[in-house]
Structure 1
Amino acid sequence: MQLMNWEQLLSLKRFGDVNKRLRQEQDETRLGFEVDYDRIIFSSEFRSLQDKTQVVPLSQTDFVHTRLTHSLEVSVVGRSLGRQVGRLLLEKHPHLQKIHGYQINDFGAIVAAAALAHDIGNPPFGHSGEKAIGAYFKEGEGKEFEGQLTKKQYKDLCDFEGNANGFKILTESRVGREGGLRLSYATLGAFMKYPKASLPKKPTTHIADKKYGFFQSEEETFKAIAEELGLEVRDKANNAYARHPLAYLVEAADDICYTIIDFEDGINLGLIEEDYALEYLIKLVKNTINTEKYNALKTTEDRVSYLRALAIGTLIDEAVSIFMKNEEQILAGKFETGLLDVSSYKAQISDIIDISIKKVYQSAEVVHKEIAGYKVLEGILSVLGKVASNVYSGHLTSYDKLILKTLPETVNLSNNALYDNLIAVCLYVSKLSDSNAMLLYHRFNGNSI
């Protein structure tokens, strides 16, 4: 069984590097993997997450999570996962430290940076935003472009994917910003949960085939990074690779946070009854709870906070254990599920998620505002899709020319390729915050004069 190599997987290489970056030569006060974290957190795309929906769209309640707070929390959990796994890996493979100089915190820094960026490509209005963009091309006015695109290009648009869009944001070159954020290849690999193109869709039940991770516009970039990291090839004809092992930890960090913290939001919003909810959390932490301390807590917020901390700690330990137990299968690209999918706590996790779906994700407030989000994105794309097409064909209307004047210089439309124009428009829309998307929609409809 051929295994991926940790030294390659921990590559410090960045876009444009000619020579290899060696771990022993790194400045310990500003490690390359930590630079990744800094570049992400200072990016405008990351900042826009402060006004993007996590669960409850456009919520004005200060204790409900946005994409920004969710991403920060996933990053913190990811750092803990990475450090714990790093300690065990260096004990198991001492040459990584003795010969190459890798440290425990390197693993934590990689996972923390990739986790910080994991939602950077998500459009406004949560997952309904992805669906709204896809619906415009699959069922709406954008269906007219189908005959002018390849099957993979059209699928990129119909199944618009935040993970692929995130990879584009992190790696796309533009004037003055060659190589995007120029992150290390190790961090980019850990970010890539679905290292495949949009087609074929779900060719297997392997977790890496659940969605896709790059648009056709980034295929060559993705392939170069995958080959540098030595990712196992799963389908050469379609450029599908095995996951970077640390992507399993990024995924686990996200799973832990949305399972526990979305549930917490539901309780704090009053969508889930406290007694009913706490009973489910207690089932998850019954082996670690200090009953005397718990009973002394007087408020719902304090009780939920205490149980949340215990639950996250429990699931971190569980994910680390599963990762190490299956390290060889993961390095061979043969581990086919998420870490928590085979957890001994799977039943408890499923119960909590089921309640969140019924009480939070399908609550009237969430559904009504997702409907509004659908309408907003459909309206914006109706205008910008026509502009993208007319720039390509060379038949701009007076209205198109006015719209073009409002777009930032980073939206690069040309007459070279229709697909590139449409993807550029989707990228622009995806970067909008919820509030700015609403504002643009009203502006396009003449409601802000």
Structure 2
Amino acid sequence: MNWEQLLSLKRFGDTNKRLRKEQDETRLGFEVDYDRIIFSSEFRSLQDKTQVIPLSKTDFVHTRLTHSLEVSVVGRSLGRSVGQKILAKYPHLQTVHGYQPNDFGAIVAAAALAHDIGNPPFGHSGEKAIGEYFISGEGQKYKEDLSKKEYQDLCDFEGNANGFKIVTQSRAGREGGLRLSYATLGAFTKYPKESLPKKPTKHIADKKYGFFQSEKEAFIDVANELGMSSRGDGNSVSYSRHPLAFLVEAADDICYTIIDFEDGINLGLIEEEYALEYLINLVRDTINTNKYHQLTNTKDRISYLRALAINTLINEAVSIFMDNEEAILKGEFNIGLLDKSKYEAQINDIIKVSVQKVYQSKEVVDKEISGYQVLNTLLHTYSKAVNNNYLVLSSNYDALILKGLPKVLDFNNDSLYHRLLNVCHYVSLMTDSQAILEYKKVRGFNL
């Protein structure tokens, strides 16, 4: 892989090449990506989607939207720092092609902003709930009528693949979805493979999958334009990561490691003593102990430690990226950046406490239990109505349900896979509150 191709400004539907040196510096193409994402309805809906902890009535916690904004800020810093070093290493990118350090920051910031845009309601349990409907619920009856890869898409419903669908999916008047640059689409796709084979290797890019069968050709087009290295065996589509995807992943890892921990402390789920015990090893070289002891409340103290910890991990991730940049370009770097960090043990300790005290707290578990029931009911109701309509077997109830489904999605496609995937996609776009409201409606609780 080479940086000239990887930084492509091409967008879906372009017939002419977009050159960096011809860009308007007041509205750079990569910055347009950020704007298109932040103004999209799918991004706005993240304000009412659970990050980890359900919305607290007593204190602020992060939603998917605030988490995504913070990941984007961290990603921008990572990208700019790496960009500066890449241009120093390959000066022709700047002198001949016109790329600037901030270009790297803009790409990573945009991709990071969108990284959770495809996640369904109720956190990661939402993905599992959709998958289990097809694995062990009513949806398993469709298995024999789908290809193995189509069925796997549904059984392992993946927010990353759904996000790629959102940002690229064409519909009337919106060809190419958000029409993001191919560089941003490449950086967005942390797992550039289809759903099968599942985890064929221990390579980080094989951990999950990044596109549904419905968007496979679209991703192949993006990968070819960017010059991403193929890792497929002829029977499967798989590529090496776009190098900047490592920075998007690092930004996400940094934020959920440190900020979920901070949320847990502020809500009283984690004792403040843990903050000093676990964070001090990340910040001992930068902490101003006099300033720390002048802070009079938990929030301010944790906020100070959080800022220092994030800065430490940003510098660490940049250093690891540049030390391994050539291996990354060759597709030979097979772990996440922070997996190679000298702070790996401290990071794992923090995550372990968060899992025990936050992710498995009663408040979180109760929300996940309810989410399973809500999503299972909606998937069953919509799938039945959509398929009965296609087979001309609709009941009056099915007909009423169909009237409430959006006209922009094709629920009458001749392909069973596309009908079912569009039902899952529709449910995934719902906010937590909207899903609960729809559940109450179909169960007759609104009367």
**Which TM-score band applies after superposition, normalised by the shorter structure?**
over 0.9
CA deviations 1:402-443 (Å, max 9, x no partner) are 111011212221141110011111111001000000000000
- Is residue 130 from structure 1 mapped to residue 123 from structure 2 by the alignment? no
State the partner residue of 1:6: 3
State the partner residue of 2:245: 247
Q: 2:443 & 2:409 partners in 1: Cα distance?
A: 21
Which sections of structure 2, spanning at least 5 residues, go unmatched? none
State the partner residue of 1:397: 395
Contact in 1 for aligned 2:37/2:178 (Cα 8 Å):
yes
Contact in 2 for aligned 1:8/1:230 (Cα 8 Å):
yes
Work out which of the residue numbers 25, 35, 39 in structure 2 matches 1:38: 35
Q: 2:91 & 2:57 partners in 1: Cα distance?
A: 50
- Is residue 67 from structure 1 mapped to residue 64 from structure 2 by the alignment? yes
Contact in 2 for aligned 1:393/1:415 (Cα 8 Å):
no
Amino acid at match of 2:272: E
Cα root mean square deviation, aligned: 0.8
Work out which of the residue numbers 208, 217, 223 in structure 2 matches 1:211: 208
State the partner residue of 2:284: 286
Residue 217 of structure 1 deviates from its aligned partner by: 0.3
Secondary structure, counterpart of 2:388 in structure 1? helix
State the partner residue of 2:219: 222
Q: Are residues 297 and 74 of structure 1, via their aligned partners in 2, closer, same or farther at CA, if it must alter by over 3 Å?
A: same
Amino acid at match of 2:348: S
State the partner residue of 1:370: 368
Work out which of the residue numbers 400, 404, 407 in structure 2 matches 1:406: 404
Amino acid at match of 1:257: C
State the partner residue of 1:19: 16
Contact in 2 for aligned 1:391/1:413 (Cα 8 Å):
no
State the partner residue of 2:378: 380
Residue 399 of structure 1 deviates from its aligned partner by: 1.2
- Is residue 142 from structure 1 mapped to residue 152 from structure 2 by the alignment? no
Q: Are residues 61 and 327 of structure 1, via their aligned partners in 2, closer, same or farther at CA, if it must alter by over 3 Å?
A: farther
CA deviations 1:44-76 (Å, max 9, x no partner) are 000000000001124345520000000000000
Q: 2:395 & 2:413 partners in 1: Cα distance?
A: 15
Aligned pairs, number: 446
CA deviations 1:249-285 (Å, max 9, x no partner) are 0000000000000000000000000112322111211
CA deviations 1:337-357 (Å, max 9, x no partner) are 000001000000000000000
Contact in 1 for aligned 2:59/2:267 (Cα 8 Å):
no
Q: 1:391 & 1:171 partners in 2: Cα distance?
A: 28
Work out which of the residue numbers 409, 423, 426 in structure 2 matches 1:425: 423
State the partner residue of 2:100: 103
Contact in 1 for aligned 2:55/2:61 (Cα 8 Å):
no
State the partner residue of 2:269: 271
Work out which of the residue numbers 306, 309, 317 in structure 2 matches 1:308: 306
Q: 1:62 & 1:38 partners in 2: Cα distance?
A: 30
Contact in 1 for aligned 2:47/2:63 (Cα 8 Å):
yes
Residue 397 of structure 1 deviates from its aligned partner by: 1.8
Amino acid at match of 1:206: H
Q: 2:120 & 2:86 partners in 1: Cα distance?
A: 36
State the partner residue of 1:346: 344
Residue 396 of structure 1 deviates from its aligned partner by: 1.8
TM-score, normalised to structure 1's length? 0.98
- Is residue 112 from structure 1 mapped to residue 109 from structure 2 by the alignment? yes
Q: 2:409 & 2:385 partners in 1: Cα distance?
A: 12
Amino acid at match of 2:102: N
Residue 236 of structure 1 deviates from its aligned partner by: 4.5
Alignment of 1:185-204 (within 5 A): 185-204=182-201
Secondary structure, counterpart of 1:176 in structure 2? coil
Secondary structure, counterpart of 2:382 in structure 1? helix
Contact in 1 for aligned 2:191/2:205 (Cα 8 Å):
yes
TM-score, normalised to structure 2's length? 0.99
Residue 395 of structure 1 deviates from its aligned partner by: 2.0
State the partner residue of 2:441: 443
Amino acid at match of 1:316: I
Residue 5 of structure 1 deviates from its aligned partner by: 0.9
Q: Are residues 300 and 425 of structure 1, via their aligned partners in 2, closer, same or farther at CA, if it must alter by over 3 Å?
A: same
Contact in 1 for aligned 2:110/2:184 (Cα 8 Å):
yes
Q: Are residues 171 and 61 of structure 1, via their aligned partners in 2, closer, same or farther at CA, if it must alter by over 3 Å?
A: farther
Contact in 2 for aligned 1:52/1:58 (Cα 8 Å):
no
Amino acid at match of 2:415: A
Q: 2:54 & 2:203 partners in 1: Cα distance?
A: 32
Secondary structure, counterpart of 1:194 in structure 2? coil
State the partner residue of 1:361: 359
Secondary structure, counterpart of 1:156 in structure 2? helix
Amino acid at match of 2:168: T
Q: 2:300 & 2:119 partners in 1: Cα distance?
A: 31
Secondary structure, counterpart of 2:231 in structure 1? strand
Contact in 2 for aligned 1:392/1:417 (Cα 8 Å):
no
Secondary structure, counterpart of 1:233 in structure 2? coil
Q: 2:331 & 2:390 partners in 1: Cα distance?
A: 41
Q: 1:121 & 1:319 partners in 2: Cα distance?
A: 26
Contact in 2 for aligned 1:326/1:335 (Cα 8 Å):
yes
